[in-house]
Amino acid sequence: MSFVLGAIFAPGFFTSEPVHIALAIGAVAAIVTGTVGVFTVARGQSFAGEAFGDIGTTGGSGAFLIGVGPLWGFVIGNLLAAGAMEAIGIQRARGRDLATGVVLGASIGLAALFLYLATTEQSTTGATVTILFGSVFTIASSTIPLVLALSAVVLGLMFTLYRPLLLATVSPEMAAARGIPVRLVGALYLVALALGAALAAITIGSLLGTALLVGPAASALRLTKRPLLAMATAAGIGIAAMWLGVVLAYDSYEWPPVGHGWPVSFFVVTIVFIGYLASGLPGRRRGGRDQTPAAATPAPRLPAGD
Amino acid sequence: MTSAPAESSPPVLDVRDVDVRLSGRTILDRVSFSIGAGEFTGLIGSNGAGKTTLFRVILGLQPTNAGDVLVEGRPRTKRGQPIGFVPQKFLLDPDLPLRARDLVGLGLDAQRLGAPRPSRARHALVDEMLEAVDARRFADTRVGRLSGGEQQRILIAHALIARPRLLLLDEPLANLDLRSAHEVVELLARITREQDIAVLISAHEINPLLGVMDRVVYLAEGRAATGTTDEVVRADVLSNLYGHHVDVLNVHGRVLIVAGAGEDTDLAGHEVAFPTSEIKRESAP
């Protein structure tokens, strides 16, 4: 038994503080992104999530340049982006694609400048890699309170909005007919999405953040037909991917090139992707329409944390 | 059919001289009608006649240029007035993680904040509503994977579970096959009587509703004619409404409303309110 454990967890894994922080922040970020992501997928707003990744890059690199923690940059950049999206109406399925494309292009251009300046100033490419692809092992423990506070805000928002948001997702007309302020609910959800994307960015990078936001949620939608269960399943898949990614990244210090660990983000995104492929298997065998005898369908196997 | 006390109480829905103009175009022109409890009313008109706009006015989502809408005698301004609404056919995403019973449950309290607390009473209420629309057998299926007729039943249950006095349905029969349409109409007629509510159902074809309608509100050119089917679906009334000659043909208990008929070679180019597809429907169940 201990041999097997030893083969999986490299020496020092359980005593390393960066590992503790990575596991904790990874789990929190996965819970938040899973909760938010189910609605991102159900509302068809994956593109908005991706846009937050692009704009978050600008915020994160700007923050790096002026010497502030990147999470602040992600948060402020994404909140500004949410405001802009609300203003130009990107959240509608047939939003103003052209305007959005132009804004995103300009934003990435700005990020290129910031990252270039950061690189020349400090003669290191660390900033670029950290912002774009994340580095969950290098997160300062002082960031944890902010991560927890943001997570509490997002989860609180999602819990508060749950029913109106769910009906507005099913049908904006039905929600409006009940007196639900559909536009306000959508705008508040966009705030939750912006903050969720920021948390995803801090763990696996602004470019890959969408994977954590959308991947586990898309798998969960295939595995369960109940909204709260879908959120829990997405969170569970996300946690499994994050933790497995951390373990493998830690192990990879002994893989070639020896002494240089592979990026956690690579493992996380790969596991999320494999999870998504695997979640399609039961559905394919079962055929299109899932029938009432739900007991006959295999229980979801992936979730580890719900 | 209307019970005696309804005489003294105000009608459930009272639409008075409603005008709606959108960007210079008159959509609704002094539309007036009322519906009492237990009355099944059809809102008939071709596409673009203003049916959806009228629903939005009744729901308080569309400002009017003139006129009033009273629901149980009170102006329709405040939130929370008891109106059930089934919107025009829309596509429910088949991957939506939502069972039919979840959507019905949302009808109880979707406007409240927070997640619903599961309770035995809530479950029983949802079950009872599912039973009422004959939907128990697919209660646990993903709502987006149900057939069109099944989805309509669930949407009706969603609209009715909070016990509204008024139920609005926007084209619930569109895209349904004849058998499902017939079943949905029968279900609605039964619920109207059993729950003593006022039902307003829009349709671009009158025939599926002929046997069950207590009243008809016929919309054309932004204006409305209202009364019983016999009072409204007549050549003189409809000609007046359309502003040009219209014939009403009775064919085996079904009606065909034809513009410019009489000169039968002249059909093309004239407005035909009910397309010729009606003619092929003789094998109705």
pLDDT for the residue numbered B277: 40
Over range B214-241, report the average pLDDT.
87
DSSP B239: H
Hey, what are B257's tokens? 């409303």
pLDDT band at A158 (very low <50, low <70, confident <90, very high): very high
| pLDDT exceeds 70 at position B135 | yes
- Helix, strand, coil fractions of chain A, as percent rounded to 5: 80, 0, 20
A61 vs A143: CA distance, rounded Å: 17
Q: Residue A2: is its pLDDT beyond 80?
A: no
**Is residue A29 in some structural domain?**
yes
- A29-33, A94-98, B215-219: lowest mean pLDDT where? A94-98
List residues in chain A touching B: CB distance below 8 A: 38, 41-42, 159-164, 166-167, 169-171, 173-180, 220-222, 224-230, 288-292, 294
Q: How far apart are CA A153 and CA A284, in angstroms?
A: 38
Question: Are B90 and A173 an interchain contact pair (Cβ–Cβ within 8 Å)?
Answer: yes
pLDDT tier for residue B279 given thresholds of 50, 70 and 90: very low
The answer on pLDDT for A293 being more than 70 is no
Could you report the per-residue pLDDT of A258-276, keeping only the tens digit for each?
Answer: 777 788 889 999 999 999 9
Q: What is the pLDDT of residue B99?
A: 95
Chosen from A231, A292, A297 to mutate, greatest number of chain B CBs within 10 A: A292
Average pLDDT, chain B: 83
Per-residue tokens: B227: 């009364």
Q: What is the pLDDT of residue A301?
A: 39
Least CB–CB distance from A175: residue in B92, B93, B110: B110
Residue of B nearest to A181 (CA): B111
pLDDT score of A84? 80
Q: Is residue A305 part of a domain?
A: no
Mean of the pLDDT values across residues A234-260? 88
How many A×B Cβ pairs under 8 Å?
A: 101
% of residues, chain A, pLDDT over 90:
39
pLDDT 10s digits, A177-213: 888 999 899 999 999 999 999 999 988 888 888 899 9
pLDDT above 70 covers a percentage of chain B that reads 86
Q: Is A105 domain-assigned?
A: yes
Mean pLDDT value across residues B201-212: 88
Mean pLDDT of B169-189: 89
**pLDDT for B105 beyond 80:** yes
A290: in domain = no
Contact between chains at A226 and B99 (C-beta distance less than 8 A): yes
Question: Could you give the dihedral angle defined by the CA atoms of residues B230, B233, B235 and B236, in that order, rounded to the nearest 10 degrees?
Answer: 70
Residue A289 has a pLDDT of: 44
A55 assigned to some structural domain: yes
Over residues B170-177, the mean pLDDT reads 87
pLDDT at residue A1, rounded to an integer: 58
Residue A299 placed within a domain: no
- Here the tokens at position B280 are 């092929």
The reported pLDDT for the residue numbered A83 is 85
Residues of chain B with pLDDT > 90, as a percent, come to 39
* Residue B37 · residue B197 · CB < 8 Å: yes
Structural domains in chain B, sorted by start = 4-229 (3.40.50.300), 234-285 (no CATH)
Q: Which residues are CB-contacts of A208 (< 8 A; sequence separation ≥ 6)? A: A53, A133, A134, A200, A265, A268, A269
CATH number at residue A56: 1.10.3470.10
| pLDDT of B234 strictly over 70 | yes
* pLDDT on residue A90: 52
B138 vs A: CB within 8 A: yes
CB B87 within 8 A of CB A177: yes
Please check the confidence at residue B267 and state whether its pLDDT lies above 90. Answer: no
**Higher-pLDDT residue of B277, B158:** B158
Does B6 have pLDDT greater than 80? no
Chain B partners of A222 at a C-beta cutoff of 8 Å? 95
Give the Cα separation of A215 and A277 in Å (integer): 10
Least confident piece of the model among A3-17, A65-79, A192-206 = A3-17
What domain range is A256 assigned to? Answer: 8-284
For residue A85, pLDDT beyond 90: no
pLDDT value at residue B77: 59
Total domains, chain A: 1
- The pLDDT value recorded for residue A30 is 95
Comparing A200-209, A285-294, B48-57, which segment has the lowest mean pLDDT? A285-294
What per-residue confidence (pLDDT) applies to A283? Answer: 57
**pLDDT in the model for residue A160:** 95
Say whether pLDDT at A91 is over 70.
no
What pLDDT is stored for residue A181 in this prediction? 92
Residue A89: predicted pLDDT: 64
CB B129 within 8 A of CB B100: no
pLDDT of residue B252: 80
Please provide the distance, in angstroms rounded to a whole number, between the alpha carbons at the two ends of chain A: 26
Q: Is B89 exposed, middle or buried (0-12, 13-18, 19+ CB in 10 A)?
A: middle
Which long-range contacts link B269-272 to residues 24+ away (Cβ below 8 Å)? B271/B46, B271/B242
Q: Do B92 and A289 touch (CB under 8 A)?
A: no
Contacts of B79 in chain A (CB under 8 A): 179
What is the predicted pLDDT for the residue at A221? 93
Domain membership flag for residue A157: yes
* Mean pLDDT of the region B47-52: 87
Does residue A291 belong to any structural domain of this protein? no
